[in-house]
Amino acid sequence: MTGSIVARLELARDDFTLDVDLLLPGRGISALFGHSGSGKTSCLRCLAGLERAASAYIEINGEVWEDSASGYFQAPHLRPVGYVFQEASLFPHLSVRSNLEFGWRRIAPGERKVSLDQACQLLGIGHLLARRPATLSGGEAQRVGIARALLSSPRLLLMDEPLAALDGPRKREILPYLERLHDELEIPLVYVSHAQDEVARLADHLVLLEQGQAVASGPIGETLARLDLSLAQGEDAGVVFEGLVVGHDPHYDLLDLRLPGSSAPLLRIAHPAHVMGSTLRVKVQARDVSLALAADSASSILNRLPVRVRESRPADNPAHVLVSLDAGGNALLARITRYSADQLGLHPGQALFAQIKSVALLG
Amino acid sequence: MRIRPLHLAATALASLICLNTAWADEVQVAVAANFTAPIQAIAKDFEKDTGHKLVAAYGATGQFYAQIKNGAPFEVFLAADDSTPAKLEQENEIVPGSRFTYAIGTLALWSAKEGYVDAKGEVLKKNAYKHLSIANPKAAPYGLAATQVLDKLNLTEATKGKIVEGQNITQAFQFVSTGNAELGFVALSQIYKDGKVTSGSAWIVPSALHDPIRQDAVILNKGKDNAAAKALVEYLKGPKAAAVIKSYGYEI
Amino acid sequence: MPLDASDLGAIWLTVKLASLTTLILLVLGTPIAWWLARTRSWLRGPVGAVVALPLVLPPTVIGFYLLIALGPHGWLGQATQALGLGSVVFSFTGLVIGSVIYSMPFVVQPLQNAFGAIGQRPLEVAATLRASPWDTFVHVVLPLARPGFVTASILGFAHTVGEFGVVLMIGGNIPDKTRVVSVQIFDHVEAMEYSQAHWLAGAMLVFSFLVLLLLYAGRRGKAGWS
């Protein structure tokens, strides 16, 4: 299939059996999300050819890399992947520059899509070129690791928890660079993580792995809003939107974002002016959404969207219910008390107003 | 009377020591490598006849000299030459007057192959071999004798590139027995038993072609008070040992 | 001059033997060490044990078996004769063969440790950066294992210099061909030439000390995998 990533993998391990059939978009960031031991890293290693599954079919944008049925296995060094490991894993015997050029030198000049300057600029590492890896901070080293992977001009970028080994400030240092990759590169990226905030911020497509099985796979907005998944139960449960910047009120310093879809509503957030027509990713947490029968404008709530109830389910806390809503084609999640649900006479198809207490801008 | 307890203890100790020595003396003997087989045969008879025990170490004479000079516990030394015992005598390392020639060695040119060495040693002159094994002439009397033979036969130049040296006569023998050297000068005692060559082919080198290989024995200072050391030396001079020594191709 | 021409000849021969042996061992030992460090085959144990045998066997045992195996009736000897090399006992070639076997563990084990310490990760990184296994070996493994190569070379060289038993058994004590320093010292002692023995033995002692000093001093600054 053209324009997509197909990975059917079966792999028996001591502690679990990986058995997945993944179909990921051929562009953007797909996150493999799950607890440790769920098989995320094994999936990634199989894609790179670092591990050989008992049964495997791997096809990247129309190109078959592995097909165990016909005994075909492309050696890892022949697969155009860029792999970023959890630890930067720079070669200690080479300078930063030589590390960066390691993969770059090994591809034909005609196939080099990224230049050293571009990669340095993209990751802000131009000033580190002459240094030895041992002298770099964890965040710097990881940025070099990412740039090194990019410079091999991969057709698929794989990242295995690239932030997990870093502390909070170092994570915040790298995240903007990853977002730039997302915005500026055409390379599909498969990103393994067990941190929900990273996934919410970066991923376009989300695969939820549990004990070697892919229990869900879909666009990030929809998947986060699915009530049947464990994701909706968490304290941080919520949905993300890609909002199009359509207006700015200089007097109150409020930014207008239009959600995707033809009849989609506007979201207003307190934010300085931003480039018109650009997109911003925002997160709305389920616990910040309340529901009302009428649009009550007499409150401090900024965002009040007309929604339709899709379904509701008991939350893990018996006092609460989780409600999945449709806001002009966009999924929204609300966490309200069971008492309130009864007061509203909550039922599928019901038209309500969602009052959004806060919108978090991601990135 | 006051010293009685001490006296008692001393008597007990003395009698213990006496008992021990009378029981069976043990003699530590350093034996030149070429005399390995004969001394083993002699030791059996000696132990049976005298009740003493013989403990032998085999090796190169030069090496034993260094060990003796540095306090090795040997009590009797059966050397492969006469100069080393003489040197030890000069250096007061032996019981005076104990030095005597216990055997005169016979040199043999030997090959492990049947019929390879003729009865006159002509094979040496034919030069058809690659390696001629000898004992290290600097350290082993049989090696020195071998070079004297080659000199006498005017073969020193011709054999120069072919000589391989064993550190002692045992190793010279080993090189030949494993076939790595086609032939070599060995001690007749190594290949001779009961009046004939036991395997391969050999030429018994006439003693006129080299200085006599006198093998001298001494009682070392360490064996001064050991009855077994004295007994062994006496035994070696006796007719029973002489018969054995001769049977291995030595002169007396 | 306390050392005569035969002493100098023995020193030169020893240096030649040790250098050649070390070179051959690096070439032979590298693939063996690499295989031992990486394989999961059941043969790993037996092969490792065979390589380590010279560590525990008396050199005379190795020498004795070599004497027999390389001899005209031995299988190795028949092989060398069939190859037109003739018999290698009592030759420099024979000493090289003996030394290679004798010093093998001193080269293979440091290399094996160095390769093992590198681990899987750098190899995987290199593979994802388009480096073929051979390319990875040359440009990643060899540089990272450099301290191991230095240790292996020094130990292989020094251990060959100190070799005695094997040479004694298969050398034949031929000047400039098989009479190495250790045998020369033995000769001097046997011949009661103690002053010459002292000079050579002293030189050997100083050499060995310097080698080990170099080794231990060089161990301080080692590069790790970050």
Q: What is the mean pLDDT of chain C?
A: 88
DSSP string, chain C: --S-HHHHHHHHHHHHHHHHHHHHHHHHHHHHHHHHHH--STTHHHHHHHHHHHHHS-HHHHHHHHHHHHSTTSHHHHHHHHTT----TTSHHHHHHHHHHHHHHHHHHHHHHHHHHH-SHHHHHHHHTT--HHHHIIIIIHHHTHHHHHHHHHHHHHHHHT--HHHHHH----TTTT--HHHHHHHHHHTT-HHHHHHHHHHHHHHHHHHHHHHHHHTSS-----
Cβ contact, residue pair A91, C224, below 8 Å: no
The minimal CB distance from C129 to the residues A134, A141, A148 is found for: A148
pLDDT, residue A264, reads: 67
Domain B107-204: which topology? Answer: D-Maltodextrin-Binding Protein; domain 2 (3.40.190)
- Could you give phi then psi for residue A183, rounded to 5 degrees? -75, -35
Query: Does the pLDDT at position B237 exceed 50?
Result: yes
pLDDT digits (tens, 9 = 90+) for A276-335: 888 888 889 898 999 988 877 777 888 888 999 999 998 888 899 999 999 888 889 999
Q: Any idea which residue has 């298969």 for tokens?
A: C170
- Could you give phi then psi for residue B179, rounded to 5 degrees? 85, 0
Residues of A with CB under 8 A from a CB of C: 48-50, 75-83, 85, 87-93, 102-103, 106-107, 133-134, 141, 148-149, 152, 158
Query: Does the pLDDT at position A1 exceed 50?
Result: no
pLDDT digits (tens, 9 = 90+) for B137-177: 887 889 999 999 999 998 888 888 889 998 888 889 999 99
Calpha distance C121→C152 (Å, rounded): 24
Domains of chain C from N-terminus onward: 13-218 (1.10.3720.10)
Task: Give the DSSP H or E segment for B8.
Answer: helix B4-23
CA of A82 vs chain C CAs: smallest distance (Å): 6
CA of A49 vs chain C CAs: smallest distance (Å): 9
pLDDT, residue A222, reads: 85
pLDDT, residue B67, reads: 86
Query: Does the pLDDT at position B13 exceed 70?
Result: no
Check CB contact of B69 with chain C, cutoff 8 Å. no
- The CA distances from residue A76 to A6, A41, C129, C132, C210, in Å, are 17, 16, 9, 9, 46
Ordered by start, the domain boundaries in chain B are: 4-104+213-247, 107-204
Q: What is the mean pLDDT of chain B?
A: 86
- Could you give phi then psi for residue A144, rounded to 5 degrees? -65, -40
Average pLDDT over residues A12-33: 89
Calpha distance A92→C139 (Å, rounded): 12
Check CB contact of B60 with chain C, cutoff 8 Å. yes
Give Cβ neighbours of residue B89 (< 8 Å, ≥ 6 apart). Answer: B96, B99, B218
pLDDT digits (tens, 9 = 90+) for B38-82: 999 999 999 998 989 999 998 888 878 888 888 888 999 999 889
Q: How many CB pairs under 8 A join A and C?
A: 77
pLDDT digits (tens, 9 = 90+) for C201-225: 998 899 888 888 888 887 665 444 3
> If you count them, how many residues does chain B have?
252
CA of B80 vs chain C CAs: smallest distance (Å): 13
Task: Name the β-bridge partners of A189.
Answer: A29, A157
Domain B4-104+213-247: which topology? Answer: D-Maltodextrin-Binding Protein; domain 2 (3.40.190)
Under DSSP, the state recorded for B70 is: T
Tokens representing B241 are: 């040992």
Check CB contact of C143 with chain A, cutoff 8 Å. yes
Judging contacts by C-beta atoms under 8 Å, the chain C residues touching residue B139 are: 187, 190-191
CA of C94 vs chain B CAs: smallest distance (Å): 12
Under DSSP, the state recorded for B209 is: G
pLDDT band at C23 (very low <50, low <70, confident <90, very high): very high
Query: Does the pLDDT at position B15 exceed 50?
Result: no
Average pLDDT over residues C87-95: 85
pLDDT band at A5 (very low <50, low <70, confident <90, very high): very high
The minimal CB distance from A89 to the residues C121, C143, C224 is found for: C121
Query: Does the pLDDT at position B18 exceed 70?
Result: no
Average pLDDT over residues B11-21: 46
**Residue C111 and residue C153 in contact, taking contact as beta carbons nearer than 8 Å:** no
Query: Does the pLDDT at position B23 exceed 60?
Result: no
pLDDT, residue A260, reads: 81
Q: Any idea which residue has 């400030």 for tokens?
A: A169
Query: Does the pLDDT at position A67 exceed 90?
Result: yes
User: What totals of helices (H) and strands (E) does chain A contain, helices first?
Assistant: 8, 21
- The CA distances from residue C146 to A133, A157, C122, C150, in Å, are 18, 32, 15, 6
pLDDT digits (tens, 9 = 90+) for A233-248: 877 888 888 888 888 8
Average pLDDT over residues C127-146: 95
pLDDT band at B16 (very low <50, low <70, confident <90, very high): very low
The minimal CB distance from B178 to the residues C68, C173, C183 is found for: C68
Give the C window 162-191 contacts with B, CB below 8 Å: 168-170, 172-174, 183, 186-187, 189-191
Calpha distance C29→A326 (Å, rounded): 69
The minimal CB distance from A92 to the residues C127, C136, C224 is found for: C224
CA of A63 vs chain C CAs: smallest distance (Å): 17
- Chains touching A, CB cut-off 8 Å, 3+ pairs: C
pLDDT band at C42 (very low <50, low <70, confident <90, very high): very high
Helix, strand, coil distribution of chain A in percent, nearest 5 = 25, 35, 35
CA of C136 vs chain A CAs: smallest distance (Å): 10
Judging contacts by C-beta atoms under 8 Å, the chain A residues touching residue C143 are: 93
pLDDT digits (tens, 9 = 90+) for C100-126: 999 999 999 999 999 999 999 999 999
- Chains touching C, CB cut-off 8 Å, 3+ pairs: A, B
Calpha distance A149→A146 (Å, rounded): 5
Cβ contact, residue pair B66, C73, below 8 Å: no
pLDDT digits (tens, 9 = 90+) for B189-204: 888 887 788 888 999 9
Cβ contact, residue pair C172, B166, below 8 Å: yes
Q: How many CB pairs under 8 A join B and C?
A: 64
Give Cβ neighbours of residue C111 (< 8 Å, ≥ 6 apart). Answer: C29, C30, C33, C34, C37, C145, C148, C149, C152
Cβ contact, residue pair C67, B62, below 8 Å: no
Percentage of chain A modeled with pLDDT above 90: 49
- Could you give phi then psi for residue A98, rounded to 5 degrees? -65, -35
Check CB contact of C67 with chain B, cutoff 8 Å. yes
Percentage of chain B modeled with pLDDT above 70: 90
pLDDT digits (tens, 9 = 90+) for A100-137: 999 999 999 998 888 999 899 888 899 999 999 999 99
CA of A150 vs chain C CAs: smallest distance (Å): 10
Judging contacts by C-beta atoms under 8 Å, the chain B residues touching residue C68 are: 178
Give Cβ neighbours of residue A345 (< 8 Å, ≥ 6 apart). Answer: none
Percentage of chain B modeled with pLDDT above 90: 46
Task: Name the β-bridge partners of A304.
Answer: A355
Q: What is the CA radius of gyration of chain B?
A: 21
Q: Any idea which residue has 């239009």 for tokens?
A: A258
What's the farthest any 2 CA atoms get from each other in chain A?
Answer: 68
The minimal CB distance from A77 to the residues C132, C144, C224 is found for: C132
- Whether B and A touch, i.e. at least 3 CB pairs below 8 A, reads as no
3-state secondary structure of A4: strand
Check CB contact of C72 with chain B, cutoff 8 Å. yes
Give Cβ neighbours of residue A175 (< 8 Å, ≥ 6 apart). Answer: A163, A198, A201, A202, A363
Calpha distance A113→B61 (Å, rounded): 81
Task: Give the DSSP H or E segment for A147.
Answer: helix A138-150
Cβ contact, residue pair C89, B180, below 8 Å: yes
pLDDT band at A175 (very low <50, low <70, confident <90, very high): confident
Average pLDDT over residues A14-38: 89
Cβ contact, residue pair B178, C73, below 8 Å: yes
CA A251 from chain centre, in angstroms, equals: 34
CA of C114 vs chain A CAs: smallest distance (Å): 14
Cβ contact, residue pair B131, C73, below 8 Å: no
B4-104+213-247 and B107-204: identical CATH topology: yes
Give ipTM to 2 decimals. 0.85
The minimal CB distance from C187 to the residues B130, B139, B163 is found for: B139
Cβ contact, residue pair C168, B167, below 8 Å: yes
The minimal CB distance from A152 to the residues C124, C130, C226 is found for: C130
Domains of chain A from N-terminus onward: 4-233 (3.40.50.300), 275-362 (2.40.50.100)
Q: Any idea which residue has 């030895």 for tokens?
A: A132
The minimal CB distance from C129 to the residues A49, A141, A152 is found for: A152
Burial readout A327-354 (b: 16 or more C-beta within 10 A, e: otherwise): bbebbbbbbbebebbeebebeeebebbb
Calpha distance A190→A178 (Å, rounded): 12
- The CA distances from residue A112 to A79, A101, A155, B4, C136, in Å, are 15, 11, 11, 108, 21
